[in-house]
Structure 1
Amino acid sequence: MGKMEDFDYQQMLAGELYVTSEILPQNNARQGKMIAQQINQIPIEDKAKIQELVKKLFGKTGKDPYITPPVYVDYGRHVSVGDNFYANFDCIFLDVNRITIGDNVMFGPRVGLYTAGHPLDSKVRNEDQLEFGLPITIKDNVWLGGNVCVLPGVTIGENSVIGTGAVVTKDIPANSVAVGNPAKVVKTLGEKERKYWEKKRAEYFAAKQKFLADK
């Protein structure tokens, strides 16, 4: 019996109610947790081995994914990341449903992506241990600051920045800066920010060139 013949596993990935303990052994979360545990035990200087295990942990990866250990997952295989993905230490991927991450995405320390949810009624929640999960999507070029929490069903648009400690409960449009709990958009990014940061970049390289020339 495979994944597609496992009622509760199918329910979980469909965003419907399911019972974790009813998922068949071949489909449970153990393998991902074991790979994450391996990553967390690799010496930090062995970047190649960490990268190799990250590619094994996630269902799909682009080029040059890297995570600074420790990292924590539920399944791991329900996460897909694009090119140049980076997550700092203590990040959590609670992937009972799918987490889809685009290219050039950066996570600060202790970012948590939580696809999991539970019925609000305590009787339904407790008697049968029913739960559910909704997918999370992070588009290209997004930066999540430290301790950001992303809740079930949320999509964050491309080029957006989520400030430290924000709790993202609803979709965030592209080119936005969002902060707070719940996270709210406080700025739309555009030409003004691009010109400012291009100027700062040019100043950096000019200063570095001068530094090297003076040595």
Structure 2
Amino acid sequence: MEQAFASEFERMVAGRTYHSTDPDLSRMRAQTKRVLHEYNTTHPDDEETRMRLLRGLLGKVGDNAWIEPPFRCDYGGQISFGDFIFANYDLTILDCAPVTVGDRVLFGPGVTIATASHPLDFHQRAVEILEYAQPITIEEGAWIGARVVIGPGVTIGARAVIGAGSIVTRDVPADVVAVGNPCRVLRPITDADRDAYLATYGPSAV
């Protein structure tokens, strides 16, 4: 028997099909756009206002999180950012399902995180206007390169590096370099990568 849901929002967060045109969902997205408009038009030096707006909009914002404007999302409340997050310009998150980002994750410019999708069947997609959404998790220490797209239901493992322009449609394990469309594991990250970096650029200045 189909579980009873009190609203389209409940259906959405439960991973069931839902109507994105539902008036309540539309109002929630409109309010999020108002907050994001304020966030994205703050003075570059006004870090206090940006952090206040982020903490009021998102489900969780850890310490020392830095999200460069412009930033866009659908609802905000299902996004969880850990500590020491850095996101470059044009991060877009379609958070129709939970998006969980661990500590010390880096995002290059133009990254898209999309939990939402549509049925393949034309009638369901374009006549009934149905959608569904699946959670996305990015674990601690991952680096997401510029213009990467992460699709519904994906988990990216701790410390993984996703090459620029990749389209990630399947889980990526921890401690690997993955790249491509569709994104595939290229190789593991090893101590040799650290040694090569030191040989080229020298020891840390910290």
TM-score if structure 2 supplies the norm length? 0.91
Gaps of 5+ in 2: none
The alpha-carbon distance between structure 1 residues 166 and 25, as it changes in their structure 2 partners (threshold 3 A), is closer
The alpha-carbon distance between structure 1 residues 18 and 141, as it changes in their structure 2 partners (threshold 3 A), is same
CA distance in 2 between partners of 1:190 and 1:11 (Å): 43
Contact 1:159 1:175 in 2 (8 A): yes
Contact 1:177 1:185 in 2 (8 A): yes
CA distance in 2 between partners of 1:168 and 1:107 (Å): 14
TM-superposed deviation, 1:23: 5.4
TM-score if structure 1 supplies the norm length? 0.87
Give the aligned partner of residue 51 of structure 2. Answer: 51
CA distance in 2 between partners of 1:25 and 1:113 (Å): 19
SS in 2 for 1:92: strand
CA distance in 2 between partners of 1:202 and 1:64 (Å): 27
The aligned length equals 203
Gaps of 5+ in 1: 209-215
The alpha-carbon distance between structure 1 residues 26 and 111, as it changes in their structure 2 partners (threshold 3 A), is closer
CA distance in 2 between partners of 1:73 and 1:6 (Å): 24
Contact 1:6 1:24 in 2 (8 A): no
SS in 1 for 2:21: helix
CA distance in 1 between partners of 2:52 and 2:198 (Å): 34
Give the aligned partner of residue 147 of structure 1. Answer: 147
Identify, as 1 or 2, the structure richer in helix.
Answer: 1
SS in 2 for 1:28: helix
Deviation track 1:29-80 (CA, whole Å, cap 9, x = no partner) reads: 2222221111111011222222222222211111011111011110011100
TM-superposed deviation, 1:198: 4.8
CA distance in 1 between partners of 2:45 and 2:192 (Å): 39
CA distance in 1 between partners of 2:184 and 2:36 (Å): 32
Mean Cα deviation higher: 196-205 or 127-136: 196-205
TM-superposed deviation, 1:199: 5.2
Give the aligned partner of residue 109 of structure 1. Answer: 109
The alpha-carbon distance between structure 1 residues 26 and 121, as it changes in their structure 2 partners (threshold 3 A), is closer
Give the aligned partner of residue 120 of structure 1. Answer: 120
TM-superposed deviation, 1:145: 0.7
The alpha-carbon distance between structure 1 residues 119 and 52, as it changes in their structure 2 partners (threshold 3 A), is same
- Fraction of identical pairs, as percent: 36
Please list, as runs of the form range in 1=range in 2, the aligned pairs for 1:171-186 lying within 5 A after superposition.
Answer: 171-186=171-186
Please list, as runs of the form range in 1=range in 2, the aligned pairs for 1:1-20 lying within 5 A after superposition.
Answer: 6-20=6-20
The alpha-carbon distance between structure 1 residues 5 and 118, as it changes in their structure 2 partners (threshold 3 A), is closer
Letter in 2 for 1:163: G
Contact 1:117 1:133 in 2 (8 A): yes
Letter in 2 for 1:73: C
SS in 2 for 1:54: helix
Contact 1:119 1:125 in 2 (8 A): yes
| CA RMSD, Structure 1 to Structure 2 (Å) | 2.1
Contact 2:178 2:184 in 1 (8 A): yes
CA distance in 1 between partners of 2:23 and 2:160 (Å): 36
Give the aligned partner of residue 76 of structure 2. Answer: 76
CA distance in 1 between partners of 2:93 and 2:116 (Å): 10
Contact 1:140 1:158 in 2 (8 A): yes
TM-superposed deviation, 1:148: 0.4
TM-superposed deviation, 1:204: 5.2
